[in-house]
Amino acid sequence: MLIKRRRRGAKLFVSLLLVVWAVSIYRQYLKSANDIANQWHYYLNPLEGTEFMNMHRDMFELTIDTPDPKLIGEGKDLFKPRLKKVRHFDNNIVLFSAVAGNSSSEHIWDTIDIVGWENKNLIRNTYKCCVRYTSGEVQSVPATRIIWSNILSNMSAMQFVCSNLTSRFGELPEVATLEGRNKKCHSLFDWYLPVTFAHAHKNEIAVCYKIAYGSLAADDLLSWFELHRRLGVTKVLVFTHDLNPEATRVLQYYRALGMADTVPFAYPTDGKACFC
């Protein structure tokens, strides 16, 4: 009899623990849902109350009314990249960026990655990278092509990887472009891309969202940002292209918090590539 009572008591105790655990989880769920609902309320009604980041009214109006401000709060709307053509190739190659990166922790800025688009008809072409260094010297090195996408378009997204010849001597690359393998590097440096340097930040997490465009749902974007914020992400880089107004307001909020940096993105089909 005593054993049965103890068993019943143990079962009751375990049941109570499970109930308490379930109630606790449910409360956490309600709290998270309520937090997101409250934040969403402030996105839709941004000028209500002081809870909205204690932001100065003039600063918030700048956030809403200025389509592409260069600095909002502590987040940035980075300058729109200028697409560059490649000499001798008309509009068949359009370059977006050149980034000096590290192949390993022991080799600093020993590669230069040039990203852009190439006409599918040129897929068998071979290229070299032309790089001007801080000394003014121009050097060339073979470019290795990596195909990133092959969608139903005449222009395929490409990455061209080049070795940085002076990485061991400390001389830094300033600008870079592509040229046909058998052609000489030209000195029309307006056609070259500025080289950006990839810097590591210790004890921080950054995420690249790639491209937010078109009819992307604002509530999905909100949930995505909140998830990553709670995971400890401190910076998100987002490229934007023709994004709808509701989702744009969400980005403006996180940009004002300093969590998001946005870059207006242009495609080569937009007709905005230049040599200048």
Q: Kindly state the tokens that stand for 235.
A: 């910076």
What's the pTM value of the predicted model, to 2 decimals? 0.63
- Tens digits of residue pLDDT in 16-61: 444 445 445 445 544 445 544 554 444 444 333 333 333 333 333 3
Give me the pLDDT at residue 63, please: 36
146-171 mean pLDDT: 79
Domain with CATH 2.60.40 in the chain: 86-197
CATH architecture observed for domain 86-197: Sandwich (2.60)
Give me the pLDDT at residue 126, please: 93
201-227 mean pLDDT: 84
Give CA–CA dist 56/172, Å, rounded: 42
Listing DSSP states for 81-138 in one string gives PPPEE-TTSTTSEEEEEEEEE-SBTTB-S-EEEEEEEEEGGGTT--EEEEEEETTS-E
- Average per-residue pLDDT for the chain: 73
Give me the pLDDT at residue 88, please: 86
- Tens digits of residue pLDDT in 223-260: 999 999 888 888 888 888 889 999 999 999 999 888 89
**Residues of the chain above pLDDT 90, percent:** 28
**Residues of the chain above pLDDT 70, percent:** 64
Q: What are the distances in angstroms from CA 20 to CA 7, 23, 30, 31, 54? A: 20, 5, 15, 16, 37
- Looking at per-residue pLDDT, the higher value among 254 and 147 belongs to 254
> Checking DSSP bridges between strand 206-213 and strand 235-241, what pairing results, if any?
parallel
